[in-house]
A and B are shown apart, each in its own frame.
Chain A
């Protein structure tokens, strides 16, 4: 959260009482808050306004939360999403995160945990934005690829334009900040997703595979995204011989 303006949070919740409780608490924490009662309202609002975070109920009348999140991502909107849902089993969590959500909280939830997660998501995004603010840090060039962190877009060595998901961009950012150094899977999880969101560090591996496919000349023999067995990954801007 930048010190100047309070972060704006959009709450999408169809239950009036729960919405009131969530909004009051977010306001008490100094956030600016707006409310959408259903999925369509949320999408309409988000088409016209920007915000720092969407707190999104999964079971909504009309378009459900997962659909809203997918639609948002398909539109190229990278606003972080925190799902709230009555269904909290691991399969539902994974579905939420696959839809492009940043975090997932099962109802009924603890107020402190909710506020903590909101803060954590905003902090991660704050870091990402400030780490991509200068002309030096906004663009990453390696092996004929050019990644613009501000617009989540890259031009690959093939000349093809690639739209990055926010997670891909964040992973790339963390790796780029530590060029030449080993970054563990746990560090990547912590920096990009926060704590205890994913059941395993395998997820990180999948994202690295995706990055290799996008940017490596031969994804099977990576030159930039190197695996350090048993530890994590090392990113090199210059191709390893």
Chain B
């Protein structure tokens, strides 16, 4: 990175020096031409004046023509031969044209080089800036659960509470560790998505089965947090997506809903799905803390966290990952809430699988090849 930057800066400096040199060369050529043309004009004027002086002093026109072949004499007046005057003008124009073309060609080429290098430098600076703010953000995000974890551990060490009194402390510690684990996963996922290093498969998948798996994994935690999850998805509904991406998308949306409902002190999450002409839509509705309607698009940007009664939750990466994965899956995602405290719904739309493309290993193989 650093060597590349030194190289770019050196190249930029060389190109700028070259451009200055071309500019100087142009100026020099111009000055030279002007000087030469001026000298020729003066010489011709002197010759004409000399011829006129000779004529005036009584010399015969023939004699004068012999001495000064470039002079034309008509009716006792000496003038410069028109072909000489023309030749001078032609030569002057030829020289101007020559360096105007050559010079502007070089200047254009050098300007293009400067633009390319400058752009690369700017882009690099932008990337660096983003990385810096990403690092600052990430380290801040980690420090809070880390502080909470340390505080709980030191509380255990300092106060040696009874097993019963220690239980909430241990639960908090487990939650903090889970939070950090989720952050690591999400950071890695978003980094992968950003570098475009994801190769997604597109295959027909049974939506109900995919959602059922995720719900099954989160059910116990939901019960613990006084949240009920209901799901109404027809088994026939099939979407085209990458199996892993579908899992991540559904999980992140559900995690988000769980956090929103938990902050509201418990409630309900309802999943429903229906098919339209070429699409399948999954709606995740929750009775959580909701958000201001104006925040709907901001939610899917990096590091946007929902505000709730108990504070922010999440890493600010979950819904960003959902949006990116949905884009890659040629799908869409949107969120809606009537306002803070009004619950929220997230709408995920995938292209529907062609009729009859049930999820079977054989069919999957065919699709992939």
Contacts and interface: CB of A to CB of B under 8 A. Distances in A.
A110 B149 CA distance: 11
Contacts of A62: 307
Contact of A14 (B139, B150, B154, B311): B311
Given A21-B152, A87-B140, A16 B147 contact: no
Interface in B153-187: 154-155, 158-159, 168-169, 172, 175-176
Interface residues of A, number: 27
Interface string A50-84: 00000000010110000000000000000000001
B140 A86 contact: yes
B357 interface: no
Contacts of A166: none
A165 to B, nearest CB: 29
B147 A59 contact: no
Contacts of B151: 18, 21-22, 25, 108-109, 111
A107 B147 contact: yes
Contacts of A14: 310-312
A111 B311 contact: no
B143 A86 contact: yes
Interface residues of B, number: 27
Chain B interface mostly helix, strand, loop or mixed? Answer: helix
B158 A111 contact: yes
B154 A15 contact: no
B148 interface: yes
Contacts of B312: 14-15, 61
Interface string B121-143: 00000000000000000011001
A81 B145 CA distance: 23
A8 to B, nearest CB: 21
Kindly name the residue among B139, B144, B158 whose own CB sees the greatest number of chain A CB atoms within 10 A.
B144
Nearest to A14: B311
Contacts of B147: 18, 84, 86, 107-109
A17 B172 CA distance: 6
Contacts of B309: 37
Contact of B140 (A16, A28, A59, A111): A59
Nearest to B140: A86
Given A14-B312, A37-B310, A38-B311, A111 B172 contact: no
B341 to A, nearest CB: 14
A19 B159 CA distance: 18
Nearest to B310: A16
A88 to B, nearest CB: 9
Q: Which of B140, B145, B154, B155 gathers the greatest number of chain A CB atoms within 10 Å? A: B154
B115 to A, nearest CB: 37
A20 interface: yes
Contact of A18 (B144, B154, B168): B144
Contacts of A61: 305, 307, 311-312
Interface in B296-318: 305, 307, 309-312
Interface of B: 139-140, 143-152, 154-155, 158-159, 168-169, 172, 175-176, 305, 307, 309-312
Given A20-B168, A62-B307, 19 more contacts: A15-B145, A15-B312, A16-B310, A17-B145, A17-B175, A18-B144, A24-B155, A38-B311, A59-B140, A61-B305, A61-B307, A61-B312, A86-B143, A86-B144, A86-B147, A108-B143, A108-B149, A108-B151, A110-B150
26 contacts: A14-B311, A14-B312, A15-B144, A15-B311, A16-B310, A17-B145, A18-B144, A18-B148, A18-B151, A21-B148, A21-B169, A22-B151, A25-B151, A61-B312, A62-B307, A86-B144, A87-B140, A107-B143, A107-B146, A107-B147, A108-B143, A108-B150, A108-B151, A109-B147, A109-B151, A111-B151
9 closest Cβ pairs, A-B complex: A14-B311, A108-B147, A111-B154, A107-B147, A86-B143, A21-B151, A18-B148, A17-B148, A86-B140
